[in-house]
């Protein structure tokens, strides 16, 4: 199955999250069954990152958005655990600081965009500025309409500069969210993740759904597609995200850079010479 085709948000069409089953499991029945395939994609991803880093022609930006407890941290933990931290970065975007609020909404985001050879992961992103701000009435319709265009222009700029952009909405059900909140309340190792705000935001579920649907429909373009990934099952979410990132990076057709030095000459004039030296040293030691 081509995971990319299956979960991509179509360009220029309305999107209805209600029509996408958050409990979808694909062709596997259990985590155990999916393990091998997910492992395969994660290893592929690690190899492709090495290539990305060596070639230094492309950059990769991964945007993670979700309702609270949707699994953004889980994806970072599980899918990107195998990649080399060198050449990778994770940036989280929380409530803006006064300095950030004094600037345009993309000001704080741009410095975290990946350079050539790098993968950057956004845990929340510039999309918060058409989501939470809209849901809380901090901006009006003309402002979010304008921001869709500004986001499109910003992402087009990154893409034109060699950045491959992938945007994921981790799709969980309202019931699954409550179950995860309960887990955070009950598991001492997860207590730190829960707050009153999570319950307050939950009350605005439908408003968030509407904001997500419109934002994704308006900004899913060929060079920066959105993927709605069913995420009630964490193992399926990890499988789908790893598959989509690996498929996308594979399609870049990267190759290791051609050597800029004369390898034959180095072999002949340096390597062989050093080998000779080592042989002589060994012989000298043997005599001594
Ligand atoms: P997360 O929930 O992402 O794992 P967290 O639980 O550690 O992070 P929170 O304070 O719950 O931290 O999340 C960050 C909060 O900041 C979210 O409620 C998010 O909507 C909010 N936020 C992010 N960007 C903006 C923005 N541009 N304007 C207003 N609020 C924002
Ligand atoms: Mg939170």
Calculate how far, in angstroms, residue 264's C-alpha sits from the geometric centre of ligand 2. 56
Atom index in ligand 1 nearest the CA of residue 132 equals 20
Whole-angstrom distance, CA of residue 221 vs CA of residue 142 = 21
CA distances from 74 to 122, 143, 216, 237, 276 (A): 13, 32, 22, 9, 53
Q: Where are the domains of the chain?
A: 2-257, 262-288
| pTM for the whole structure | 0.95
pLDDT tens, residue by residue, 165-202: 999 999 999 999 999 999 999 999 999 999 999 999 99
Determine whether 163 is exposed, middle or buried from the number of CB atoms within 10 Å of its CB (0-12, 13-18, 19+): buried
Please tell me the CATH superfamily of domain 2-257, with its number. Answer: P-loop containing nucleotide triphosphate hydrolases (3.40.50.300)
Give mean pLDDT, residues 268-276. Answer: 91
- Residues lining ligand 1, Cβ inside 6 A: 68, 72-73, 93-96, 123-124, 128-129, 132-133
**Strand bridging mode 59-66 / 119-123:** parallel
Which mutation among 90, 128, 170, 180 tests ligand 1's pocket best, with the greatest number of atoms within 8 A of CB?
128
Helices and strands per DSSP (H, E), number in the chain: 12, 5
Position 1 scores a pLDDT of 55
Residue nearest to atom 25 of ligand 1 (CA): 95
pLDDT tens, residue by residue, 38-69: 999 999 999 999 999 999 999 999 999 999 99
Give mean pLDDT, residues 15-33. Answer: 96
Is the model's pLDDT at 288 over the cut of 80?
Answer: no
Q: With contact defined as beta carbons under 8 Å apart, do 9 and 220 qualify?
A: yes
Whole-angstrom distance, CA of residue 165 vs CA of residue 155 = 8
């Amino acid at each position: 199955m081509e995971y990319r085709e299956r979960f991509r948000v179509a360009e220029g069409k309305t999107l209805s999250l209600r029509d996408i089953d958050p409990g979808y499991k694909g062709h596997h029945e259990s985590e155990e069954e999916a393990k091998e395939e997910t492992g395969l994609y994660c290893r592929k991803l690690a190899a492709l990152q090495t290539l990305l880093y060596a070639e230094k022609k492309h950059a990769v930006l991964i945007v993670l958005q979700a309702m609270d407890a949707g699994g953004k941290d889980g994806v970072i933990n599980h899918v990107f655990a195998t990649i080399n931290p060198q050449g990778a970065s994770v940036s989280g975007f929380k409530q803006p600081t006064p300095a950030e609020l004094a600037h345009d909404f993309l000001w704080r985001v741009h410095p975290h965009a990946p350079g050539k050879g790098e993968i950057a992961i956004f845990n929340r992103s510039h999309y918060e500025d058409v989501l939470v701000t809209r849901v809380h009435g901090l901006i009006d319709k003309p402002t979010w309409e304008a921001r869709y265009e500004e986001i499109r222009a910003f992402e087009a700029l990154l893409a034109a500069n060699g950045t491959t952009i992938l945007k994921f909405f981790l799709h969980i059900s309202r019931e699954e969210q409550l179950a995860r909140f309960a887990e955070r309340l009950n598991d001492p190792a997860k207590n730190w993740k829960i707050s009153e705000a999570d319950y307050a935001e939950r009350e605005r579920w439908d408003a968030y759904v509407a904001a997500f649907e419109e934002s994704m429909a308006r900004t899913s373009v060929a060079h920066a597609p959105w993927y709605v990934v069913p995420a009630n099952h964490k193992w399926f979410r990890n499988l789908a995200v790893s598959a989509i990132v690996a498929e996308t990076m594979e399609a870049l057709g990267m190759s290791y850079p051609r050597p800029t030095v004369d390898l034959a000459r180095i072999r002949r004039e340096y390597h062989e010479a050093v080998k000779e030296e080592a042989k002589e040293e060994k012989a000298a030691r043997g005599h001594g």
